[in-house]
Chain A
């Protein structure tokens, strides 16, 4: 059992939890993820690591309710436990293995969309702790959906926040901010790291390809085991098929086949829709109304 030491609602449908997981906290690196399973009957759910405390043996996760399993998970409180918590899985972000002096010469731009702010945070924090200040763009639909803005401010070089509806700081999509920084203000970046909804990563990658700015994205396909055993997580990168759980989750954004990845993410949508209805309606759900097809 893996004890929840803190459970907090960050925004509508977005939750943060500190979980006791000593082995993971000891060995994890930015860019990696964990798999959580709530109880005996739960699904195995991959979640990126948002923060870690090696001394105290704590892993921080942030997740958004997207289906029945995450909806159930959101009901967990401080003092409750996950039955299973496995990791760290996947490869660490490439820069964690680079020569520090070389890395210091590079100018990095991070682009975080929505709940993707959570996995961006430990990367920017790691760089900050190693004396490197990276610029960060954070985007959300609206002000109430922004998360970790204060935390990010402390570790980022320049922080640019934008909301689709203009309810906080800039108005518009993250791609517009990139254009503004690179084209209008003439800023030079050596690498861009974009993490957020698949559609956002697709459009950022399209733009940065035009701008000839190398871009890394972090994919979150459907997974089961997370150790390379099932192939549920396969994605096409360039001409190769990769297993995101072991080869990724980070890949060259200019080579990822996003359209295929987005279709694959929808695979269980019908089943998931039914499960959500069943969860909400309990025994009153008997199907047949056509709502869940």
Chain B
């Protein structure tokens, strides 16, 4: 295979016009030949900078070398030493600001496509039925993990490998956290990718009890005092949606991104034969500029709507991954930048009929270092719409912190925990992921899950 060493081997994708109408995965991934060609671009650096950019420190040159040599099973084994969800991470990690952002190849040309190679190894392992093995013996110590998102799953997997008897308690009817209810099918296939990764976890001996809302069905104190759990890891995420507080926001046709995405992803409203309804909309505005906003916008597009992203800063400040913005544009999402909603206009039946917006310009930098958007007086205008999706960020749910004695939170309602081992203010209780940091990323949640497992192992070993 001919390739320019300065350029990535291109990855095959569904054509934008085609994929804008379906929920199939956008990126098709590398085949063996492409993966080996890409792997051969890697310099296998001694002090590999890519590894320092990876929150879970995967031995990147190590697994890439195995791919180049055609030993994909060994490549998968190397990745699995550090990551419990390689098929997920290869798809949704912001590699451009992590491993690939540090890659020396990136100085003169394009960095190695580390994410796509990770995905290739993980997909290959799944297709060839390679999975981790259950440890021979358990140590008889029970640990409870709350939440089955990336942090909880990682923590549970690591503890199971160390011989603990782990039970995950999940509030929803399906394990996976944001991976099943938030991130859409076309970026992260549920049956094909997420489910097998969860099944691998169960093969390690982890039990999952769904439909248990900690703080309601039972409490952390009861789990420890009555059910014999010696330690608890809280990985309950940051699921509480924010709204703007502008007039008209409770009109019919205004949704949080969480609701819209949950209806489509978790409840599968986009597929025939499922009972949960969704308002597809014909002209939709998504307010916000993060990954979640892109996902909501591209979901609405696939359901047949004309979709506008309404964001108050400029393109440069969009918090979403560059790849996602690029994909959204290719598919025909319209970006109304430097624009902020002031009111949602409502018809006589209580449905959205439009949104009054104001144009913004960038002023002085604010606390976050980004230039603060300021309103341009007299620039108000109306957008005609029938659906508005609010994607303004989320915060942790107080259900657990408010029902657990001695568990401290900060002013953003985040649980206070040590970064190195997840220890909270309550003995035996550890926490990590979005519940501690506020909404962040899959890989950072996994890093926190690892730290929590380490913290719990140390705690129970010395007890």
Contact = CB atoms under 8 A, between A and B. Distances in A.
- Decide whether A and B are members of one complex: yes
Interface of A: 23-24, 26-27, 37, 41-44, 68-69, 72, 83-89, 224-225, 227-232, 234-236, 241, 246, 260, 263-264, 266-268, 271-272, 275
A272 B216 CA distance: 30
Nearest to B278: A271
A231 B216 contact: no
Interface in B322-378: 349-350
B262 interface: yes
Contacts of B349: 263
Interface string B228-260: 000000000001110101000110110110110
A231 B243 contact: yes
A44 B267 contact: yes
Contacts of A225: 171-172, 262
Nearest to B237: A229
A261 B269 CA distance: 23
B224 to A, nearest CB: 16
Interface of B: 171-173, 181, 210-213, 216-218, 239-241, 243, 245, 249-250, 252-253, 255-256, 258-259, 262-263, 267-268, 273-279, 349-350, 397, 399
A37 B212 CA distance: 14
B173 A86 contact: yes
B256 A230 contact: yes
A27 B218 contact: yes
A149 B350 CA distance: 37
A37 to B, nearest CB: 6
A65 B272 CA distance: 22
A84 B241 CA distance: 24
A234 B399 contact: no
A275 B275 contact: yes
A23 B213 CA distance: 10
B218 A84 contact: no
Contacts of A72: 275
A224 B350 contact: no
A137 to B, nearest CB: 31
21 contacts: A23-B218, A44-B267, A85-B211, A86-B211, A88-B216, A89-B216, A225-B262, A227-B171, A227-B213, A227-B397, A230-B262, A235-B250, A246-B399, A260-B250, A260-B350, A263-B252, A266-B252, A267-B279, A268-B279, A271-B277, A271-B278
A230 B172 CA distance: 12
Given A41-B274, A263-B252, A227 B279 contact: no
Contact of A224 (B211, B218, B262, B273): B262
Given A24-B217, A87-B216, A232-B259, A44 B173 contact: yes
B173 A37 contact: yes
A165 B460 CA distance: 68
Nearest to A266: B252
Nearest to A89: B216
Contacts of A236: 250
Contacts of B213: 86-87, 89, 227
A227 B397 CA distance: 8
